[in-house]
Amino acid sequence: MSADVVKAKRKTDIGPPNYTKFLPPIIKENYGKWKYHEVPQPGVLVHTSHSGAKLYSVRAATPRLLSIETLRLFASIADEFTGGFLRFTSRNNVEFLATDEGKVAPLIARLKKEGYPVGGIGPSITNIVHTQGWVHCHSAASDASGVVKALMDELYPRFENMDLPGKTRIAFACCLNMCGAVHCSDIAVLAVHRKPPKINHATLGKTCEIPSTVAACPTGAIRPATVDGKQSVEVIEEQCMFCGNCFTVCPSMTMADPENDGISIWVGGKVSNARHEPMFSKLAIPYLPNNPPRWPEVTAAVKNIVDVYAKNARKFERIGEWIERIGWPKFFKLTGIEFTKYHLDDFTHAGESFKRSAQLRHSSEG
Amino acid sequence: MSADVVKAKRKTDIGPPNYTKFLPPIIKENYGKWKYHEVPQPGVLVHTSHSGAKLYSVRAATPRLLSIETLRLFASIADEFTGGFLRFTSRNNVEFLATDEGKVAPLIARLKKEGYPVGGIGPSITNIVHTQGWVHCHSAASDASGVVKALMDELYPRFENMDLPGKTRIAFACCLNMCGAVHCSDIAVLAVHRKPPKINHATLGKTCEIPSTVAACPTGAIRPATVDGKQSVEVIEEQCMFCGNCFTVCPSMTMADPENDGISIWVGGKVSNARHEPMFSKLAIPYLPNNPPRWPEVTAAVKNIVDVYAKNARKFERIGEWIERIGWPKFFKLTGIEFTKYHLDDFTHAGESFKRSAQLRHSSEG
Amino acid sequence: MTDKKYPTPLLDDLEKGPWPSFVKEIKKSAKSPMVQDLLGLLERSYEEKIGHWKHGGLVGVQGYGGGVIGRYSDLPAEFPDVSEFHTIRVNQPSGWFYTSDALRTLCDIWDRHGSGLTNMHGSTGDIVFLGTKTTELEPIFSELTAAGFDLGGSGSDMRTPSCCNGMARCEWACYDTMAFCNDVTQTYQDELHRPAFPYKFKIKASGCPNDCVASIARSDMSVIGTWRDDIQIDPAAVKEYALAGKLDIGKDVAGRCPTKVIDWDGTTLAIDNSNCVKCMHCINVMPKALSPGKDRGATILIGAKAPIVQGALLASVLVPFIKLEQPYEDVKELIAAMWDLWAEHGKNRERIGEFIQRIGLGNFLEQIGLDPAPEMVIQPRTNPYIFYNL
Amino acid sequence: MTDKKYPTPLLDDLEKGPWPSFVKEIKKSAKSPMVQDLLGLLERSYEEKIGHWKHGGLVGVQGYGGGVIGRYSDLPAEFPDVSEFHTIRVNQPSGWFYTSDALRTLCDIWDRHGSGLTNMHGSTGDIVFLGTKTTELEPIFSELTAAGFDLGGSGSDMRTPSCCNGMARCEWACYDTMAFCNDVTQTYQDELHRPAFPYKFKIKASGCPNDCVASIARSDMSVIGTWRDDIQIDPAAVKEYALAGKLDIGKDVAGRCPTKVIDWDGTTLAIDNSNCVKCMHCINVMPKALSPGKDRGATILIGAKAPIVQGALLASVLVPFIKLEQPYEDVKELIAAMWDLWAEHGKNRERIGEFIQRIGLGNFLEQIGLDPAPEMVIQPRTNPYIFYNL
Ligand code: SRM
Ligand code: SRM
Ligand code: SRM
Ligand code: SRM
Ligand code: SF4
Ligand code: SF4
Ligand code: SF4
Ligand code: SF4
Ligand code: SF4
Ligand code: SF4
Ligand code: SF4
Ligand code: SF4
C-alpha cells in the first residue's frame, strides 16, 4: 500500500481488529464450552471441551522486548506447528495453540532450540512482569530488562519445573510509579531513588507549572520559592521520601543518582481471590545496590526468599499466605533478613499496620 | 478526727491505701497460687488453690450509681457472710469473697432479697459499663443510667443465666468522647448529636481560646470569624459531623438538641485476645430517638440483636466473631436492620474498610 | 426516704423492674438537699430530653491540678442546691478490694461533705464521689488523706491506673498486676496530681491476654500478662474433660485456636507452642487441664484511646515480652523516655497514640531507644514511601 | 547481525545464560541505526548506573491526544539516532490472539518506520512499538489503520482495556471477557484517543476470581466473573481425585477453603454454597470435578491504582453481581454516570479510586444512583463521625 493511498483515506477510531479474526477454528467451535484442563508436563496445557475436542497450548518464555525478527520467527513456528495461531499471555509469554497432540513434542523441541524455554505453568515461576528501565524511561532508578534477565537466569529451573508450593509471581518496576504493578506480587523488585530531587532553578520556572509541582508531593515537601530572582520551588529535604512524583510533573527536578539509586525487595502480595483475598506486597529488603550487568545482590536475595519459601511453605500456599501462617518475625528469622526502622510504615495509614493485639508468638530464646 | 487536726498535718501524694490491707486471709495465703476455677451456678465462682483452699466469690449487680446507704448495706452483708471482705469488678459489679461454702446460698438469697441480682459470670450479659449522662455531664446527648436501667430490665434473664454462645459485653456512652469505651464492645449504645454546634457569639471570644477551638475540629469545619464586631468562629455546616469536640474545648458552642439528639447502636467489638484479636465495634443502627424514661426503640433493638445472636452463633463465638463468619450482609438480613449510606465510613481511613476483593457470598435470590 | 421536693413521674418509672434502680439509689440519699435538687433537675432533663449541666470551671484542692471535676447547673435559680455539683475522683485501691470498714470510712466522709451519691467505680477506675460544693473540697481532701486515701487523676496528667484482680484471685495472672498497679500509682504521684502532659495518660494492667480491665482498648499504656514457654498440660485432666462430654475438644478447643496449633486425636492433646499466639482460648475453656507456661511476663502495648480527635485506637505492641519484675526499673526507664519525648514534642490534646502516628513509629522508637521488631506490626509497610537516611 | 558501532561489554554479558536475552533481541534489530545508538546509550547507562532519557514532549498523530510516548535522549550529540526515540502504543486484539499473518503485518509496518523493537506487550496490554522519530508517526498511523489496527491510550484518557483469554480457552470464564473488552474498547474510542479526564482510567476484565489480568490491582474498573448459584459437582470425578491420591481432599481442598464450607467425609464432597465466597480454590485444584455454577455474571470493582500519590489501592466492590450480557447497557450507564461525576469534580491527576475516598463512598453512590450495600465494605464504619442529613 503506497503512502499516498493511505493519506487519501485517513481512518481514525477504528479500534483494534476484532479478536474473532484471530481465533483458531477449534476455539471458535468450542468457545465457552471448555470442560476442564490438565497440565501433562511443564509448559503444556490441555483443554478438553464438552464436545470432546482437545486444545494443546504450549507456553514459551519471551524477554518481552522482542525484535521483529523474533516475531517473524514465532509466526513461522506457528505456521509450521499450529496452523498459524498463537497468542501472548498477560505475563508476556507466548503460547502456541495446537490441535494435534503429535505436534506438541516437536514444537517444544523447536522452541527450546531457538532459545525460548517452555514452562511457566502451574506452581512455578513464570515470566517477570516488568517495565522499561534504562531502555526507554526517563524515571528509571535501575534498568528493568537487565535485572529481569539476571534474575531469570538464576531462577530458570523454577520456570521449567513445577516444584513450588504455589504459583510465584515476580514483578519488577523501575520507579515508584510501578508500571509493573509490583504492589501485589509474591516477590516485587522495585527500583528506588534515595535522594531528594536536584532542582534546576534556571529552567524550572519555564518548564514547570509551579502549583501542580507543589501539589504533586504526597508529603507536602515542596514550596514555591524565588531563587536567584527566578520563580522556582524549594524542597524541605527532611520531608522528602524520594517518590519522584515531582519529577513526573516537572522535568527540572531530577531524581536519578548513580550512587544512591538501587533496588528494594517486597514480598507476599497476590492478586487472585483464591483462598486468601488479594494482598499488597510488603517490604522485605529496603535497599540493595545497583550493580549492573548482573545485580548479584538482588538475584541472591530473591533466590534466597524463593528457596526458603519452597522449603517451608505448605502445598498451595502462596508466599503471602505462608508468611501469614508463620508470622513475620519467623519470616525474617528464616530468611536472615534484618528488620529495620524502614519496615515500619510511616505514611497516612501507618497506624493501621500496627499490631493492635497481644496475640504474639513468644519464644524463650529471645 | 476534727477538722483542725487534719489541717495541721495536711498530707498530699500519699496515693491509695495499699491493697494488701484489704485482702482476706485466704487470698493472702494463696496469692499467685490459684490452680483453677469453676462456675457451679450462675453468679458464683469457685477458685481452688494448689494448696487445696477454695474461695467462693458471689457476684451481684449494682447500678454503679450507689448511695452510701447501699454501700453501708454491702459492708454489713460482707460482715455477715464474708468476714467483711468484698470487692468491685471492672464492670461495676460487687463481689463477696467467702471461704465458707455454706455461706454461699444464704448470701445469694440475701442479695436477691435486697434487690441486687446475682449473675453476670460466664456466657451471660454482665453489667453495662456506662457513663454520667444527664446525671452529671455537660456533654451528654442522652441519659446514661436511664438507658442502662431500661436495657437491663429487658435483658435481665441473660444476666441471671448463662445461655449465650459467648460473653456479651454491652457498653453505653453518652457522647462521642466515649468514656464508656464503647468502641470495643459486643454491643455499644452510643448517644449522638446530629446538629452542628449553636454558637454563642456574644460569649465565645471571652470564654474560648479561638486557635484551640479551631484546632479541635477533626474535619476542619471551624474557622475564625468576626461576628457583630466580636471575635468568634464560624462553622462550615456541611463539614460538621457533630462530634462535639468543639464544645469540649469551648462552652460557647453547644451541641445538645432535644429533637435531634438520640442513640446509635454498634456491634461486634471485643477486647480480649481470646480466639480473635481485639476488634472495634461497628455501626449497626445509625439513629434511634431519645425516648425517656424507657427508650423502647433502643431496648427493642438491642434485644433483637442479642436474640438473633443467641439463636445463630456457635458456641464460644462472640458477636463480632459470629458476624465475621456469616458476613455482614447476612447480619443485616437476619436482624432486619437496614443498611444505609451512614454505614459506609467516610473519615480518614475510610478506604481501609472498603471490600477490596471479589470474595463475596452471592445468592440467586438477589 | 425523705419527702420529694419535686414530682418525678418519669424517673419514678425507673424504680420498677428487676434490675437495681439508680433512681432508688438517688432517693436513698435524698435526705441531702443537693440530691433533692438533683432529682428535680434530672426529671427536667427527662421531660425536655436535654442535659442541664454547664461546663465546669477550674476547681480543686490546694496544690493539686486534678481529681475534681467542676460542674454547675444551667438552672441555678430553680435548683439552687445543685448550682455547684462537683465530683471527686478518689484513687481506688488496686483491684478494687475493700474491707467493710474501709467502705464505711469512705461513706462517713462523703456523708459529712457531699451528696452521699457515688459511682463504684468510674470508668477509669476511681471511686467517684458524685456531687458537692467548692467549699467542701478541702475538708473532704483532708479527711480522705487522714484516712489513707488520696485523689485520682483528671486533666492532662497521668490518670488513675487500674488492674484486674490478677494473682489475688485468678489462676492465669502471668505477673502481679496489683503490685505493679500500686507501684506505678505510688511512683508517679506527682504526675498523677499535677497535670503537666500534653493530654491524659492512662495505664492499665491485665494479668493475661483475656484483658479483664480492657486495657488494650482504653489505656495509653497497656500491660498484658503472657508467657514464653509451653502451655502446661495435665493429661489426666484433659481426659476428664473428654469423658465429661460437655466440651467437644476437637471442635470447641482445637477448632477455635486462632493459629490451629492444637492437635487432638481423641485421647491426647498436643500443642505446637512455637506457633501458639497466647490467645488464652484453650486455657479458658479447659482451666483444670491447661495453664499458661512457667516463663511468665507481659507484653507492653501503647496508645489506646477513644475516637476524639483522629479516630479511636487500640493499643499496639511496644515491648513484645518483658519479665516485669519488681522494682520495674526497665518499665520505668521506658515510661520516662516516652513521657520526656511526648511532653516535649506532643501537641496540646494529643494522646501518645496519636503522637506516635504523627511522628512515625520508627522515629518514636529511635528516640526512646528501643529497637524495631516485627512483632510491633501486623506486617511491614506496603507503601514505598521510605524515608531513607543516608 | 550488523557490526556494532559501540563496544558493549556489560550488555554482552547479558547475552549469556538460559533465559532469552533482551540484548540478543536488541542486536537482532541492530541493522537500524537507531538501535545501534540505543545499544551505545544503554551501555552508557550500565556503566554510569543512570538513565539517559529526558522527559517527553507532546508528540502524537493528528487528532489524537494519546497513543504515543515522546522520548528524547539527554546525549543527542553522542547518540544522534536516538535523540528522538518515541514509543507507539498499538491497541492489541482482545486476549492477545494473533495469526501469523497479522503478526507479520505489524512487523512489516514497524520495519519500515521504526527501530524494529517491540514489547509484546506493555503492562497495560498494548503492543508497544519501541523507538521511532516524530516524522514517522503519521505514516505509521496510516499504515496501521489501513491494516485494521489503531492506537491505544496514554495520558488522561481511557486506557487500552485488556482481558484474560476467558471463554476462548478457559473452562471457568463466567462471562465473555473478550467480547466485553472489545465492546468497551470500540464503544469508547473517543475517550481512548482524546484525553478529557482528570487522569487515566483503566478497564480490565477477568473471567473468574482467579483474575488472570490482575484487574483488581491494576484497573480503575475491574470486572471479575463470578456466579450466584451452587458449584457444580461431578461426584464420580471427585471419587477419581480421591482414588488418584495426589490430592488430600480433606486437607488440600476443604482445609484451604477460606470460609471452611466444604464437607468431605472421605467419599462425598458437600458444599454450603450460601457461605461459599467464590474464591475458586476448590475448583482450581479439582478442575475435572468441580466447576462454577450456572447462574453466572460478574462483580464490578472500582479504583485500583499504583501508589502515587496517596498510596496504592486495590479495587473495591461497586456492583456485587451483574449478569453482564450484551449490549452491556447497564454497565455503560454506570460508566457514564461515574465518568460524568469524576470529570466534573475530580482534581487534576486524581484517579477515581482516590476521588471516591475524597468525596466519600456514600456520596459517590448517591451521585451515580447506586444503593449502598454491605457487600461493598469489609465491615460498617467503626468511627462515629457520621454526617447525618436531617
Ligand atoms: C494465560 C493466562 C491468562 C491470559 O489470558 O493470558 C492464565 C491462564 C491460566 N490461569 Fe491464570 N493465567 C494468567 C495469569 C494469571 C495471573 C495474572 C498475573 O500473574 O499477573 C494471575 C493472578 C496472580 C496472582 O494472584 O498474583 C493468575 C492466577 C491464576 C490462578 C490462582 C492461583 C492462586 O492459587 O492464587 C489460577 C488457578 C490455579 O492455577 O490453580 C489460574 C489458572 C489458570 C488456568 C489454569 C486457567 C485455565 O483453566 O485455562 C490457566 C493456566 C494456568 C497456568 O498458567 O498455570 N490462574 N493467572 C495468564 C498466564 C500468565 C503467564 O504467562 O504466566
Ligand atoms: C472480675 C473480673 C476482673 C476484675 O478484676 O474485676 C473478671 C474475672 C474473670 N474473667 Fe474476665 N473479668 C472481668 C472483666 C473482663 C473483661 C473487661 C470488660 O468486660 O470490660 C473482659 C474483656 C471483654 C471483651 O473481650 O470485650 C474479660 C474477658 C475474659 C475472658 C475472655 C472471654 C472471651 O471469650 O472473649 C475470659 C475467659 C473466659 O471467660 O472463658 C475471662 C475470664 C475470667 C475469669 C474466669 C478469670 C478467673 O479465672 O478468675 C474470671 C471470672 C469470669 C467471668 O466473669 O465469667 N475474662 N473479663 C471482671 C468482671 C467484670 C464483670 O463484673 O462482669
Ligand atoms: C467520670 C467518667 C465517666 C464515668 O461515668 O465513669 C468520665 C467523665 C468525663 N470524661 Fe471521660 N470519663 C471517664 C472515663 C473515660 C474513659 C474510660 C477509661 O478511662 O477507661 C475514656 C475512654 C478512654 C480514653 O481515655 O480514651 C474517656 C474519654 C474521654 C474523652 C476523650 C478522650 C480522647 O482522647 O478521645 C474526653 C474528652 C476530653 O478529655 O476532653 C473525656 C472527658 C470527660 C469529662 C471530663 C467531660 C469533659 O468534656 O471535660 C467527663 C466529666 C463528666 C462528669 O461531669 O462527671 N473523657 N473518659 C470516667 C472517669 C471516672 C474515673 O476517674 O474513674
Ligand atoms: C510502557 C509502560 C511500562 C511497560 O514497560 O510496560 C508504562 C510506561 C510509563 N508509565 Fe506507566 N506504563 C505502563 C503501565 C502502567 C501500569 C500497569 C497497567 O496499566 O496495568 C501502571 C500501574 C497501574 C495504574 O495505572 O495505577 C502504571 C502506572 C504509572 C503511573 C502511576 C499512576 C498512578 O496513578 O499512580 C505513572 C505516572 C503518571 O501517570 O504520571 C506512569 C507513567 C508512565 C510513563 C508515561 C512515564 C511518565 O512519568 O510519564 C512511562 C513511559 C515509559 C516510556 O518511556 O516508555 N505509569 N503504568 C506500560 C504501558 C504499556 C501499555 O500501554 O501497554
Ligand atoms: S516504572 Fe517508572 S521508570 Fe519504569 S517505566 Fe514506569 S514510569 Fe518509567
Ligand atoms: S521526590 Fe516525592 S517526596 Fe520528594 S519532593 Fe518530590 S514529590 Fe515530594
Ligand atoms: S461520654 Fe461524654 S457525655 Fe458521657 S460522661 Fe463522658 S464526656 Fe460526658
Ligand atoms: S461538632 Fe465536631 S465536626 Fe462539628 S464543628 Fe464541632 S468539632 Fe467540628
Ligand atoms: S486478665 Fe487474666 S489474669 Fe486478670 S483476671 Fe482476667 S483472666 Fe485473670
Ligand atoms: S492459647 Fe490460643 S493460640 Fe495458643 S494453643 Fe491455646 S487456643 Fe491456640
Ligand atoms: S481469570 Fe478465570 S476465566 Fe480468565 S483465564 Fe483466568 S482462570 Fe480462566
Ligand atoms: S470456591 Fe472457595 S469459598 Fe467456595 S467452596 Fe470452593 S474453596 Fe470454598
What is the mean pLDDT of the segment spanning B168-196? 96
B351 CA → ligand 5 middle, Å = 26
Q: Which of residues 367-386 of C touch B (CB under 8 A)?
A: none
Give the start-end residues of each E strand in C207-335: 221-227, 232-233, 262-264, 269-271, 290-291, 296-302, 316-322
Of all protein residues, the one whose alpha carbon is nearest to atom 27 of ligand 2 is C212
Which among B251, B233, B243 is positioned nearest to B196, based on CA atoms? B243
Predicted confidence (pLDDT) per residue in B54-95, tens digit: 999 999 999 999 999 999 999 999 999 999 999 999 999 999
Please report residues of A whose CB lies closer than 8 A to that of B321: none
**Residue of chain A whose Cα is closest to the Cα of C354:** A351
The two most distant CA atoms of chain C are separated, in Å, by 78
Nearest CA in chain B to D382: B282
Residue that has been written with the C-alpha cell 509474591 in this structure:
A186
User: Which residue's CA is minimally distant from atom 2 of ligand 11?
Assistant: D208
Q: Mean pLDDT over residues D369-390, rounded?
A: 97
What local confidence, expressed as pLDDT, does residue D295 receive?
Answer: 97
pLDDT tens digits for B317-329? 999 999 999 999 9
Q: Beta-carbon neighbour count of residue D267 at 10 Å?
A: 10
CB-ligand 9 contact for C212 (6 Å cutoff): yes
**Inter-axis angle of helices A104-113 and A68-81, to 10 degrees?**
160
DSSP D118-186: EEES-TTS-EEEEEE-HHHHHHHHHHHHHTT--B---SSSBPPPEE--HHHH-TT-SS-HHHHHHHHHH
| pLDDT > 60? residue D3 | no
Query: How many C-beta neighbours within 10 Å does residue B100 have?
Result: 12
pLDDT(A3) > 60: no
Say what the pLDDT of residue C5 is.
Answer: 83
Q: Would you tell me which residues 172-211 of chain C have a C-beta closer than 8 angstroms to some C-beta of chain A?
A: 209, 211
Sign of CA dihedral D115, D118, D123, D126: positive
Reported as a single tens digit per residue, the pLDDT across C339-357 is: 999 999 999 999 999 999 9
**Tens digits of residue pLDDT in B90-106:** 999 999 999 999 999 99
Interface size C-D, in CB pairs within 8 Å, comes to 16
Mean pLDDT over the full length of chain C: 97
Distance of CA B139 from the midpoint of ligand 3 (Å): 11
Between the CA of C317 and the centroid of ligand 9 the distance, in Å, is 19
Ligand 1 atom 54: residue of nearest CA: A121
Asked if residue A144 lies in contact with residue A172, where contact means CB atoms within 8 angstroms, the answer is: yes
Q: Between vectors from CA C39 to CA C38 and to CA C41, what angle results, nearest 5°?
A: 65
pLDDT tens, position by position, B16-55: 999 999 999 999 999 999 999 999 999 999 999 999 999 9
Nearest to C123 among B22, B180, B274 (CB): B180
Confidence category of residue C1, pLDDT binned at 50, 70, 90: very low
Gap between the Cα atoms of C74 and C41, Å rounded: 10
Give residue B7's pLDDT: 52
What's the angle, vertex CA A191, arms to CA A190 and CA A196, rounded to 5? Answer: 130
Residue A365 has pLDDT above 90, yes or no: no
Q: Which residue has the higher pLDDT, A180 or C1?
A: A180
pLDDT band of residue A7 (cuts 50, 70, 90) is low
User: pTM score, two decimals?
Assistant: 0.96
CA distance B61 to chain D (A): 30
Residues of chain C with C-beta less than 8 angstroms from the C-beta of D307: 383-385
Per-residue pLDDT tens over the stretch D221-267:
999 999 999 999 999 999 999 999 999 999 999 999 999 999 999 99
| pLDDT over 70 (residue A96) | yes
| DSSP helix/strand/coil, B228 | coil
Among the partner residues D259, D276, D357, nearest to B350 by beta-carbon distance: D357
Query: Across chain B, where does the E strand assignment appear?
Result: 34-41, 44-49, 54-60, 65-67, 85-88, 94-98, 170-173, 187-192, 198-199, 222-227, 230-235, 253-254, 262-267, 282-289
Check residue A181 and give its pLDDT: 78
**What cell was used for D37?**
545508538
3-state helix, strand, coil in chain A (%, to 5): 35, 20, 45
Q: Is the dihedral of CA A280, A283, A287, A291 positive or negative?
A: negative
Distance CA B324, CA B340 (A): 19
Q: In the predicted model, what is the mean pLDDT of residues C126-149?
A: 98
Interface test with C, best of A182, A264, A355, A364 (most C CBs within 10 A): A355
Is the ipTM, as predicted for this complex, more than 0.90?
A: yes
Counting atoms of ligand 6 from 1, which one is nearest the CA of A247? 6
Share of chain C above pLDDT 70, in %: 99
Phi, psi of D18 (to 5 degrees): -75, -25
Residue D5 has pLDDT above 90, yes or no: no
Q: How far is residue A230's CA from residue A204's CA, in Å, rounded to a whole number? A: 9
**D309 in A contact zone (CB under 8 Å):** yes
Question: Grid coordinates representing D227?
Answer: 456466579
Residue bearing the CA closest to ligand 9, atom 8: C170
| Ligand 8 pocket at CB < 6 A | B 196-197, 216-217, 219, 221-222, 235, 240-246
Q: Cis before residue D309, ω within 30 degrees of 0? A: yes
pLDDT of residue B115 exceeding 80: yes
Extract the runs of DSSP E, i.e. beta strands, from B84-152. Answer: 85-88, 94-98
Q: Which three cell numbers stand for residue A1?
A: 500500500
Cα–Cα distances in Å, from A181 out to C44, D301, D306? 63, 17, 7
Show residues of chain D in contact with C382, CB under 8 Å. 311-312
The answer to whether D202 and B352 are in contact (CB under 8 A) is: no
Q: According to the model, what pLDDT value does residue D4 have? A: 60
For residue D185, give the nearest of A15, A61, A176 by CB distance: A15
Which subunits have 3 or more CB–CB pairs within 8 Å of chain C?
A, B, D
C-alpha C321 chain-centroid distance:
21
Q: Which long-range contacts (CB under 8 A, 24 or more apart) does A39-43 make?
A: A39/A121, A39/A122, A39/A162, A42/A118, A42/A119, A42/A121, A42/A122, A42/A124, A42/A160, A42/A161, A42/A162, A43/A108, A43/A117, A43/A118, A43/A119, A43/A120, A43/A121, A43/A160
**Residue B4: what pLDDT?**
53
Provide the pLDDT for residue A363: 73
CA distances D239 to A50, B279, C38, C327, D293, Å, are 20, 42, 76, 65, 20
Average confidence (pLDDT) over C64-78: 97
How many A from CA of B6 to the centre of ligand 9? 39
Please provide the average confidence, as pLDDT, over all residues in chain A.
96
A278 lies within 8 A of chain B by CB: yes
Q: Which atom of ligand 2 is nearest to the CA of C170?
A: 49
Minimal-distance CA residue of chain D relative to A94: D120
Query: Residue D98 in contact with residue A22, Cβ under 8 Å?
Result: yes
* Burial class of residue B336 (count of CB atoms within 10 Å of its CB; 0-12, 13-18, 19+): exposed
A126 and A91 in contact (C-beta within 8 Å)?
yes
Closest CA to C176 of C314, C309, C325, C57: C325
What percent of chain A clears pLDDT 70, i.e. is strictly above it?
97
Q: What is the mean pLDDT of residues C23-52?
A: 97
> In this predicted structure, what is the pLDDT of residue D132?
98
Residue A180 has a pLDDT of 83
Chain B residues with CB under 8 Å of D376 CB are: 344, 354-355
Show which subunits contact D, needing at least 3 CB pairs below 8 angstroms. A, B, C
pLDDT over threshold 70, residue A366: no
Distance CA B47, CA D177 (A): 65
pLDDT at B332 over 70: yes
Identify which of D95, D116, D256 has the shortest CB distance to residue A275. D256
DSSP state of C4: P
Q: What are the Cα distances from residue B290, in Å, to B129, B143, B254, C232?
A: 19, 9, 18, 51
How many angstroms separate the Cα of B206 from the Cα of each of B232, B236, B244? 9, 22, 20
| pLDDT digit string, tens, across residues C278-328 | 999 999 999 999 999 999 999 999 999 999 989 999 999 999 999 999 999
pLDDT attached to residue D2:
46
Please give the grid coordinates belonging to residue D135. Answer: 516524522
Note the pLDDT of residue A49: 98
Closest residue by Cα to residue A17 from D127, C178, D132, C102: D127
Phi-psi group of B361: left, alpha or beta (phi > 0 → left; psi -120 to 50 → alpha; rest → beta): beta
Q: What contacts 24+ positions apart, CB below 8 Å, involve C339-344?
A: C339/C191, C339/C197, C339/C201, C341/C367, C341/C368, C342/C197, C342/C198, C343/C196, C343/C197, C343/C198
